[in-house]
């Protein structure tokens, strides 16, 4: 699928907004994103999947070696600390599945996409 220059520029601006944004404290009253909002943000982080059954945003990363996997896990941990938003990670020899949700609202918020955008910079 070929995207116009205008579409690419808009997407780059939107991704930059995510990368400049800070995760915020979310209350139950804020609620989670609706499916339309999630799909709009997923366009910016297309390798991440929304798992509706679990209300999570996740992506599996593959690596050439165990040390590469662990280096990635440590880099994700640094991002999580910087944003005070910590994922669940399932780590195996050459794979790491990163799973994000906001427990307060039992769902996905913009915080997940902010962190996803930062993590994508590590691995793309």
Spell out, as residue ranges, where the chain has pLDDT lower than 70: 1-12
Q: What is the pLDDT of residue 2?
A: 52
d(CA 106, CA 32): 7
Tokens of 61: 């990363």
Total of domains in the chain: 1
Angle at alpha carbon of residue 23, lines to 21 and 25, rounded to 5°: 140
Say how many Å lie between the first and final Cα of the chain, rounded: 19
Across the chain, mean pLDDT equals 91
What is the reported pTM? 0.88
Residues 5/60/83/28 CA torsion (nearest 10 deg): 100
> For residue 81, what is the domain's CATH number?
3.30.1360.20
Answer yes or no: are the C-beta atoms of 86 and 73 closer than 8 Å. no
d(CA 93, CA 85): 25
Q: What is the pLDDT of residue 15?
A: 85
Q: What is the pLDDT of residue 43?
A: 94
């Amino acid at each position: 699928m070929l995207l116009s220059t205008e579409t690419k520029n808009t997407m780059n601006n939107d991704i930059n907004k995510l990368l400049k944004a800070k995760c915020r404290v979310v209350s139950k009253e804020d609620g989670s994103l609706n499916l339309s909002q999630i799909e709009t943000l997923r366009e910016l982080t297309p390798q991440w999947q929304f798992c509706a059954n679990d209300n999570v945003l996740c992506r599996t990363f593959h690596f050439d070696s165990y040390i590469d996997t662990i280096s990635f896990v440590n880099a994700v941990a640094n991002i999580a600390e910087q944003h005070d938003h910590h994922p669940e990670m399932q780590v195996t020899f050459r794979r790491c599945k990163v799973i994000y949700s906001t427990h307060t609202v039992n769902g996905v918020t913009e915080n997940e996409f902010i962190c996803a955008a930062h993590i994508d910079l590590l691995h793309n």
